[in-house]
Amino acid sequence: MKMIPKRQNIGSAQGPTTPGLLEAVNGNLRRNPVRVRVLRFDGSQLTVPENLMDKFVVRGGNPLIGSIRVSGAKNAALPAMAAAILTEEPVVLENIPDVRDIQTERNLLVSMGAEVELGYGRASHRTTMCCRNLVNPEAAYELVKTMRASTLVLGPLVARMGRARVSLPGGCAIGARPIDLHIKGLEKLGATITQEHGYIEAAAERLRGGNISFDKITVTGTEDLMMAATLADGETVMENCAREPEVIDLAVLLNKMGAKITGAGTSTIRIQGVSKLGGAKHRIIPDRIEAGTFVIAGALTGGDLTVANCDPTHIGSLLQKLEDCGVTVRTTQDSIRVTNGHRLKASDISTEEYPGFPTDMQAQYMALATQSEGTSTVTENIFENRFMHAQELVRMGANIKVEGHRAVIRGRTPLSGAAVQCSDLRASASLVIAALVAEGETILDRVYHIDRGYERIEEKLRGVGAQIKRLGEILPKRSAAQPAGVA
Ligand code: EPU
């Protein structure tokens, strides 16, 4: 029998739908849904409940001009936080991005008994973690299903606590995403693995060094096993490793903690196991995918955008491709300036492991290709199903045909604003970019996907001239209409 929750208002005579008041549902206090008045770009009004506020409204046509600052790399911060499990001492991480996946990882560590202290004020991007008293070496399904990188705790937990219980992630919007290579590697290091009720259980009194040769290059697999091997008995040699900058950043942190790792950034990594690791302080590298997303947005809108606080060498393949498309790219040690005064030219891309063209930039590049003259082919080699954005771009006016793992984009077709759905993090970024050059207003639904990995993207883009609002904010009066400016 379905129970209907009893509602009872607290502290108000205004009736059960009064916005923001606490109400009791089956004895638990919770807040009534707040209904918010939203003013759209055309001046009309909309009222939406708070729980439907995860939408962006974008009015296209403004070139991006000015300087935009890149946050710390989510995909470097996540393994760095998992590395704190390896020691009883505090690990201090700076330049941690304020994004949803980081909150999920903090929750995961806290659920195991870790103490997590957040910086505040000017130090708001600093997190101190202390895993002295870990009591529950488990990553529950509820967390793993919302963030697959939770599996990064598997190796560190077995290495430090001798056991781990981690939910299997299952499939997701971009493909199957198995963790068989993490498991095979742990077995090579002497762990006993069992699988039951959707969970992997790994146990080893002490891991021992071994030779691991990955059948396929895996980023988090390389990171997971590198962490595990730091506390193993003897030497581990890992071959066919991922060479991403995030792998190097993790090795730098682990070495600061007392690990003995050489070769990170090449395909062979050697780890001499040590008996104990200590605390460390480390600054996370800038987010190369966020930087690349802004670079494409700048190029596409025909603006003059400086992407600051980034490392241009981390996205060399993307910058080269943009030059092939006719974009002017100038770099310093920590910034990229893109200007584009003429039409974009079509060019093909094929995603590869680092240092090839990143799969995490494929969707954003596709948005650019819709506005390039000629036919571009986008081939996705890393994930089996990473074209969810293509159909949404088609709804905005793009001409894209997907055939297996290849998409053919015929440009340039004008884009027009539409209601579109975000399906995953990078697909969402692609739709935001397309909306910036679409004629009229685009409403993006399910922007919680973008909040997983981009820190306040709407504020950053607004700072360089974009018209973008999160629904729920009161929008300024409609500004003079500007042409959809694609150079
Ligand atoms: N694979 C296996 N078995 C494994 C592991 C991976 O078959 O045990 C396969 C995958 O199915 C995929 C390929 O190997 O086909 C590469 O997957 P990889 O393991 O490298 O991906 P990941 O480590 O799960 C990281 C990033 C992703 C990024 C990929 C590829 C983090 C937290 N995530 O994922 O980032 O797309 O590498 O570069 O580092 C994102 O930020 O939007 C994102 C998805």
Q: Are 195 and 168 in contact (CB under 8 A)?
A: yes
Round to whole Å and give the CA distance between 450 and 170: 21
Predicted local distance difference test score (pLDDT) of residue 169: 83
Residue nearest to atom 27 of ligand 1 (CA): 360
Give ligand 1 pocket residues (Cβ under 6 A). 75, 78, 148-149, 175-182, 216, 218-221, 246, 359-360, 382-383, 425-426, 453
Predicted local distance difference test score (pLDDT) of residue 121: 80
Ligand 1 pocket mutation pick from 246, 354, 382, 426 by most atoms within 8 angstroms of CB: 382
Q: Which atom of ligand 1 is least distant from the CA of 246?
A: 39
Q: Which atom of ligand 1 is least distant from the CA of 179?
A: 8
Ligand 1 centre to CA of 177 (Å) is 7
How many beta carbons lie within 10 A of that of residue 53, not counting itself? 15
423 to each of 80, 172, 286, 390, 431, how far by Cα in Å?
A: 27, 10, 25, 11, 10
Q: Which atom of ligand 1 is least distant from the CA of 220?
A: 23
Ligand 1 centre to CA of 47 (Å) is 40
Predicted local distance difference test score (pLDDT) of residue 474: 47
Give CA torsion, residues 207, 210, 214, 220, to 10 deg. 30
Predicted local distance difference test score (pLDDT) of residue 178: 87
Q: Are strands 349-350 and 372-379 parallel, antiparallel or unpaired?
A: parallel
Predicted local distance difference test score (pLDDT) of residue 171: 61
- pLDDT tens-digit profile of 59-79? 999 999 999 999 999 999 999
All residues at 6 or more sequence positions from 422 whose CB lies less than 8 Å from its CB, including other chains: 428, 431, 444, 445, 446, 447, 449, 450
Start-end of H helices in 307-440 = 316-324, 362-369, 388-395, 425-437
Kindly give the parts of the chain with pLDDT less than 70: 1-53, 170-172, 175, 472-487
Ligand 1 pocket mutation pick from 193, 215, 219, 422 by most atoms within 8 angstroms of CB: 219
Start-end of H helices in 231-340 = 245-256, 288-300, 316-324
- Show which residues are catalytic: 172
Q: Which atom of ligand 1 is least distant from the CA of 79?
A: 32
Q: Are 178 and 214 in contact (CB under 8 A)?
A: no
Amino acid at position 470, single letter:
R
All residues at 6 or more sequence positions from 450 whose CB lies less than 8 Å from its CB, including other chains: 56, 422, 425, 428, 429, 432, 444, 457
Q: Which atom of ligand 1 is least distant from the CA of 453?
A: 41
Residue nearest to atom 17 of ligand 1 (CA): 218
Residue nearest to atom 39 of ligand 1 (CA): 75
Ligand 1 centre to CA of 200 (Å) is 18
Ligand 1 centre to CA of 237 (Å) is 21
Predicted local distance difference test score (pLDDT) of residue 40: 53
Ligand 1 pocket mutation pick from 75, 193, 195, 430 by most atoms within 8 angstroms of CB: 75
Amino acid at position 209, single letter:
G
Predicted local distance difference test score (pLDDT) of residue 341: 73
Predicted local distance difference test score (pLDDT) of residue 16: 31
Give CA torsion, residues 146, 151, 156, 157, to 10 deg. 80
